[in-house]
Amino acid sequence: MFWKRQFPILITAFVAVVMIAAYFIPKPGIADTRDNLQVWFQIVVMFTMILGLLNLLFVSWHKARKGRKEDRFYNWVTIFSLLGTIVAGFFGINSPAFDFIFNNIYTPLSATIFSLLAFYVASASFRAFRAKSIMATILLITAFIVMLGRVPLGDWISGWAQGTSLGFLYLPNITNWIMEVMNMAGQRAVLMGAALGLIATGIKIILGIERSYLGGE
Amino acid sequence: MTFLEKLDRLDRRIIFLIIGIAVFVPLLFRVPIKVVQSPIVQDIYEGIQALPEGSTIMLSFDYDPSTLAELQPMAEAVVKHCIQKKHRMVFMGLWPQGPKLAQGIMDEMAPRYNLQYGVDYVNLGYKTGGIVVISSLGSSIADPFPTDMNGTPLRELPIFDNVKTLRDFAYVVSLSAGDPGIKHWVMIAKDRFKVPVGGGVTAVSAPAFYAYYNSGQLEGLMGGLRGAAEYETLIDTPGTASYGMNAQNWAHLMIILFIIIGNTTMLVLKRRKEKSRVR
């Protein structure tokens, strides 16, 4: 039980206290310990990547042989892509094979999938972006202004107001104001709330109160 | 079914087609659009502009090809600006795919501007660990990166003669699509080591960083394609973003029209329903 529960908690508490202390006490002794821990962290993270890779390989292998018939093909694609990229990588990150995979397969596929978002946003804007309440209407009007203010169209529509006493009607100015005042106030509140939550969780982990990261019961 | 009811249940494939045309057609006509500068982009430009010629700048490519359309034009614009100012550039990535994207830019720029690898620029590659890598750079660059991307030891690269730790960089530019990214550069490079940090993020994540900009932790920020287009306008070198703004213009216009049509049909149909209920 000690090795499974208390020992990992002691390691966690030790590492956390050293890292916090090193931030506030920049002295050689503690800084060296921090540097060593940072190197260890990078080594551990590297092994988690290998673990993830093996996990993907085994799960795909299992599904390719015993999974749903219609999905088996995609699992073989995953396995061959994974192994193909690894083999190409062994010839060097600048090898023609790796360059070909990265520039002609991975990059266009990745960019294409993300680009599909624009189509879904447009469809969702038509179906879901409705002024059903006062709050939704305020959100709608704000989105309107920001969307117009972020493209040259906003400048063309309201350009007449720039430099006049009605300059506050110039859409890029309104957009900047919304982003730098209204948005920022909200974001700051979210950030501070999250930071306080993070500190509380950190203290709970250091003291061994929060143990869910250890898994098990 | 009336026309309005049909419109309310518009097939989404028609919406996809309209958006596709709105994006594709303007891209065929490569017309660069100059955009109005916002202070947040101007600040990052001025930060790099104000550095003495030959300063060493860290450019961290913390994104992958999925966000290439937004972040690569920013990277190209910042690199062009650094070349104009004769700054030396050190590339790295907290995301595995980042350094390869940086290499793509430099493969094109280096011969064009006669830049020498190891003297004018260097690519350190990728290292796992996110925020811990940045923290390690504060102790020594050679700690997380004993060699560059090609396996050359740092001591053999003249660019590192006077650059040993993160503190020796005049500026850090992080082009970030998430975690790890610009937030971590702010937390370590700016807050702990007092190195100015600026950068670029996708349009959808930009609002979250205004608080860092307002507090002075972030020198400046480019948000999405618009941010990149502003930077291109500032360095007077129209590129992908300036051409792309035309497409974005039309796409935004279409989305606004969709919202207007959606809400109008909803209101009219709702009123009709209420009237028929009263009768």
d(CA B62, CA B75): 11
On whether both B175 and B111 belong to a single domain, the answer is yes
d(CA A184, CA A176): 11
On whether both B23 and B43 belong to a single domain, the answer is no
d(CA A100, CA B36): 39
Q: What's the predicted TM-score (pTM) here? A: 0.88
d(CA A79, CA A58): 9
pLDDT digits (tens, 9 = 90+) for A90-106: 998 889 999 999 999 99
Q: Residues near A21 by Cβ (< 8 Å), separated by ≥ 6? A: A30
On whether both B23 and B124 belong to a single domain, the answer is no
- Would you place residue A213 in the very low, low, confident or very high pLDDT band (cuts 50, 70, 90)? confident
d(CA A173, CA A167): 8
Cβ pairs A/B, distance under 8 A: 146
Whether A89 has its CB under 8 Å from any CB of chain B: the answer is: no
Is B252 in contact with A153 (CB distance < 8 Å)? yes
* Residue B141 belongs to domain with CATH number: 3.40.50
Lookup: tokens for A122: 């447009």
User: Cβ A42–B129 below 8 Å, yes or no?
Assistant: yes
Closest chain B residue to A147, measured at CA: B252
pLDDT at A217 over 70: no
Q: What is the mean pLDDT of chain B?
A: 92
**B180: phi then psi, degrees, rounded to nearest 5:** -80, 155
A104 secondary structure, DSSP code:
I
Q: What is the mean pLDDT of chain A?
A: 90
Query: Is residue B34 assigned to a domain?
Result: no
What mean pLDDT is predicted for residues A4-33? 88
On whether both B215 and B174 belong to a single domain, the answer is yes
On whether both A109 and A163 belong to a single domain, the answer is no
Of B97, B203, B258, the CB nearest to A122: B258
Domain hosting residue B7, numbered range: 3-29+245-278
Domain hosting residue A22, numbered range: 10-90
Alpha-carbon distance B257 to nearest alpha carbon in chain A (angstroms): 9
Alpha-carbon distance B52 to nearest alpha carbon in chain A (angstroms): 30
Of B16, B64, B248, the CB nearest to A110: B64
On whether both A175 and A142 belong to a single domain, the answer is yes
On whether both A122 and A149 belong to a single domain, the answer is no
Boundary residue ending a domain (A67, A90, A113) = A90
pLDDT at A216 over 70: no
Query: Is residue A1 assigned to a domain?
Result: no
What mean pLDDT is predicted for residues A45-69? 93
Query: Is residue A5 assigned to a domain?
Result: no
Alpha-carbon distance A211 to nearest alpha carbon in chain B (angstroms): 23
ipTM over 0.90: no
Q: Which residues of B touch A122 (CB under 8 A)?
A: 15-16, 18-19, 251, 254-255, 258
Whether A187 has its CB under 8 Å from any CB of chain B: the answer is: yes
Closest chain A residue to B142, measured at CA: A39
Cβ neighbourhood burial of B200 (10 Å; 0-12, 13-18, 19+)? buried
Of A41, A46, A153, the CB nearest to B252: A153
On whether both A144 and A154 belong to a single domain, the answer is yes
Query: Is residue B52 assigned to a domain?
Result: yes
On whether both B215 and B107 belong to a single domain, the answer is yes
On whether both A162 and A201 belong to a single domain, the answer is yes
Boundary residue ending a domain (A82, A111, A128) = A128
Helix axes A107-127, B12-28, angle to 10 degrees: 130
Q: How confident is the prediction along chain B (279 residues), in pLDDT tens digits per residue?
A: 788 888 888 888 999 999 999 999 998 888 877 788 889 999 999 999 999 999 999 999 999 999 999 999 999 999 999 999 999 999 999 999 999 999 999 999 999 999 999 999 999 999 988 999 999 999 899 989 999 998 999 999 999 999 999 999 999 999 999 999 999 999 999 999 999 999 999 999 999 999 999 999 999 999 999 999 999 999 999 889 998 998 988 999 999 999 999 899 988 988 888 888 877
Query: Which pLDDT belongs to residue B153?
Result: 95
User: Cβ A122–B254 below 8 Å, yes or no?
Assistant: yes
Q: Which residues of A touch B13 (CB under 8 A)?
A: none
Alpha-carbon distance B53 to nearest alpha carbon in chain A (angstroms): 31
CA angle A29, A35, A39 (to 5 degrees): 150
Whether A106 has its CB under 8 Å from any CB of chain B: the answer is: yes
Q: Would you tell me which residues 9-38 of chain A have a C-beta closer than 8 angstroms to some C-beta of chain B?
A: 23, 31, 34-35, 38
Of B16, B64, B136, the CB nearest to A119: B16
On whether both A145 and A82 belong to a single domain, the answer is no
Closest chain A residue to B23, measured at CA: A118
Is A155 in contact with A172 (CB distance < 8 Å)? yes
What mean pLDDT is predicted for residues A106-130? 88
Q: Which residues of A touch B67 (CB under 8 A)?
A: 114
On whether both B65 and B184 belong to a single domain, the answer is yes
